[in-house]
Amino acid sequence: MRLEQSIDCPDCGTPIAIETRALMEGASFACGTCGAEISMAGRAGESWGAAQAKFAALKADMLKAGEGEA
Ligand SMILES: [Zn+2]
């Protein structure tokens, strides 16, 4: 399984290349189109548990979307 994935930018929908492991380790990735940042840390005030649950759902979607791709 490749660790590199992409997430659609929540602001503009552009796919942002992310590395899952780096994201989980706290790295953030910026949208090349609008500059929005994607990170595991979540937004201020959001608990780690909530961010983690959201990421798990996101990851499931990514895995689903990634099926059939090399
Ligand atoms: Zn964007």
Q: How far apart are CA 69 and CA 9, in angstroms?
A: 20
Decide if 53 contacts 28 (C-beta within 8 A). Answer: no
User: Distance from the CA of 37 to the center of ligand 1, in angstroms?
Assistant: 8
Label residue 5 by pLDDT band (50, 70, 90): confident
Measured in residues, the chain has a length of 70
User: Distance from the CA of 43 to the center of ligand 1, in angstroms?
Assistant: 16
Q: How far apart are CA 21 and CA 6, in angstroms?
A: 12
Task: Enter the pTM of the model.
Answer: 0.51
In the chain, where the domains are located: 4-66
Label residue 23 by pLDDT band (50, 70, 90): confident
The pLDDT of residue 3: 60
Query: 46 or 66, which is more confident?
Result: 66
The 3-state DSSP class for residue 1 equals coil
